[in-house]
Structure 1
Amino acid sequence: MNPTDTDLQALVGPQFQALADALTVEPETIADAPSLCEGWSVRHVVAHVTMAARYDGPAFMRELAAAGHNFDVLSETIARRDSALPFDTLLDNLRSDTMAAWTPPGGGSVGALSHVVIHGLDITAATGLPRIASDEATRIVLSTLTGSGAQHFGIDVTGRFLRATDLDWRFGEGPALEAPAGDLILALAGRPRPGVDLSRR
């Protein structure tokens, strides 16, 4: 049975919480470590994913207008500016009720779940931490990225068989590509991963 929006939203908060917990272990050393997001450290990524905790609807629209209604410019501006906040404040934002209930405009609950799982991997894969998203959340994001969500990142999985090696998930038919679930998600989201080449047929 497919999960409902309520089911999906119930998974969002725990993934934000798990990311905060993982980053609390060594906050002084990990905050400024590079992430997989080009030019962004861990603190930049956390500032980005927790934007909604600091900007309500009207404040967000003001920021968007100031950025010329260009979301990429807005994201870069806020990530750079708010990364200067105390890292403990950003970790508290990850744990906030606001982020647990947040959905991106037009993305719904599955968009919120994909957002935290993918950006969580941008941090953990770059810093050598294990995947922190639950297996359930990870399977849902994998299925989203191999379905309609794949169009967002321009990744073509036609004619490929994908299988996660660390949980029960598989997709498609064709030449096999087997890798840990986190690496598959990152590759499907357009992040190059060693040994995971989705361009090969």
Structure 2
Amino acid sequence: MPDTTTPERLWAAAHAERAALADDLAELDEAQWTQPSLCGRWSVQEVVAHLSAAASTGRARWLVSMIGARFDADVHNARRLTEHLGSTPTETLQRFRTVVDSTTAPSGHTAAWLGEVVVHAQDVRRPLGLPGRPPVPVVTEVARFYAARDFAVNSRTAAAGLRLQADDGPFAAGAGPLVTGTTLALTMAMAGRAAFCEDLTGPGVRVLRDRCARP
């Protein structure tokens, strides 16, 4: 299993996942770009614009934006998304391709920024029926980060009091009622995506699903 634990390798994994997603998106038609994603009210195109914004916002820019939004993350995200949304899906995709190799981020939590692309890629792939999946070692690093702390998502809170056990890799965390499934499904559920609870089994699934359903 390849080592993905250093910041350099985590960034390399993020770059690979961005590139893979960009290739998937290149085949979409106009209707697919407007389809709802798994990420709140955002369409597929808006999720891609958000990914471009995330890869273009360093610490200083993030702080200025958050102050301007009065530390309302939803307002901050909406404003930055609008900046990176193209006038057409083709333009939005072109803008995303320009940041594929970016290492710009608001903080040094590299696993979180890898998680940003892993989660949002599935936010668009699942509704569109696209088969792309990141490698298990890559998702394992995101799962470990999510189980350890709340950061961009309330993942640790979602997993609290549960035993999460991957059936396709080494990830395991917590104690309590068991939830079993792929590393990707567990990661997406910790990120609040209830649709992925359908892929999980065990006595703790109901609790995790209920938590995913909360605002």
TM-score range normalised by the length of the shorter chain: 0.7 to 0.9
Deviates more, 1:42-51 or 1:125-134: 125-134
Post-superposition shift, 1:125? 1.9
Deviates more, 1:139-148 or 1:69-78: 69-78
Aligned to 1:74: 76
Aligned to 2:171: 170
Aligned to 2:96: 94
Distance change in 2, residues 1:52/1:152 (3 Å) = closer
Distance change in 2, residues 1:150/1:73 (3 Å) = closer
| TM-score normalised to structure 1 length | 0.80
Report matched runs for 1:105-116 at 5 Å: 105-116=106-117
Distance change in 2, residues 1:144/1:131 (3 Å) = farther
Distance change in 2, residues 1:174/1:108 (3 Å) = closer
Q: Answer yes or no: is 1:49 the counterpart of 2:43.
A: no
Letter in 2 for 1:148: R
Report matched runs for 1:103-182 at 5 Å: 103-149=104-150, 152-153=153-154, 155-165=157-167, 167-172=168-173, 173-182=175-184
**Gap runs ≥5 in structure 1:** none
Asked if the contact 2:58/2:105 (under 8 Å) is kept, the reply is no
Asked if the contact 1:23/1:30 (under 8 Å) is kept, the reply is no
For the residue of structure 1 that corresponds to 2:140, the secondary structure is helix
Q: Residue by residue, what CA displacement relative to the aligned partner does 1:157-200 show, whole Å, maximum 9, x if unpaired?
A: 344332334x3133134432222333211210122134353626
CA–CA distance in structure 1, aligned partners of residues 61 and 6 of structure 2: 30
Distance change in 2, residues 1:181/1:131 (3 Å) = farther
**Gap runs ≥5 in structure 2:** 209-215
Aligned to 1:38: 40
Asked if the contact 1:12/1:112 (under 8 Å) is kept, the reply is yes
CA–CA distance in structure 2, aligned partners of residues 3 and 53 of structure 1: 20
Q: Which structure is higher in RCO with an 8 Å CA cutoff and minimum separation 6?
A: 1
For the residue of structure 1 that corresponds to 2:207, the secondary structure is coil
